[in-house]
């Protein structure tokens, strides 16, 4: 049985249940909200389908990352790896591919959000060269 990892674009509706389950079981680091509903994900797929990536091993979805590009800046949302497969390079492979795709689109700067207290994520991103920015983040439901 091969354990080779493959990274590919999210396939709707085939991957919807698996991605939802992955995010729901990823612990407090993934904050799900209205923008993560099926309808909202379909809207996202119409904009940047090539930036919604999944990782598969043996036909099973084991990780995912959702990226965005507004024509000027890139964004990273919801990097998640199945708990039984963490620390095996899956998150690194997903981020490598997402960063490569963003770069190929002409993106020169990216942003991401990490929840307070998620020290594993902070270490992971800092080891990849991401730096903490002295900003306040604001949000508003529209």
- Band the pLDDT of 1: cuts 50, 70, 90: very low
Residues 6+ apart with CB under 8 A from 42: 12
Burial of 63 (0-12, 13-18, 19+ CB in 10 A): buried
Tens digit of each residue's pLDDT (9 = 90 or more) over 23-40: 999 888 898 999 999 999
125: helix, coil or strand? helix
Nearest to 78 by CA among 115, 105, 42: 115
Q: Give me the domains of the chain, ranges plus CATH numbers.
A: 5-127 (3.40.630.30)
* Cα–Cα distance measured from residue 35 to residue 38, given in angstroms and rounded to the nearest whole number: 9
Tens digit of each residue's pLDDT (9 = 90 or more) over 97-119: 999 999 999 999 999 999 999 99
pTM of the model: 0.94
């Amino acid at each position: 049985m091969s354990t080779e990892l493959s990274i590919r674009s999210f396939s709707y509706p085939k991957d919807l249940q698996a991605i939802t389950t992955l995010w729901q079981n990823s612990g407090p680091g993934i904050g799900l909200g209205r923008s993560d509903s099926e309808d909202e994900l379909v809207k996202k797929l119409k904009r940047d389908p090539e930036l919604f990536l999944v990782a598969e091993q043996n036909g099973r979805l084991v990780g995912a990352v959702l990226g965005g590009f507004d024509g000027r800046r890139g964004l990273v949302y919801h990097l998640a790896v199945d708990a039984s497969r963490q620390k095996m390079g899956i998150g690194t492979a997903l981020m490598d591919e997402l960063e490569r795709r963003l770069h190929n689109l002409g993106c020169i700067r990216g942003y991401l959000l990490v929840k307070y207290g998620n020290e594993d994520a902070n270490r992971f991103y800092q080891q990849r060269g991401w730096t903490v920015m002295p900003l306040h983040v604001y949000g508003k439901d529209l």
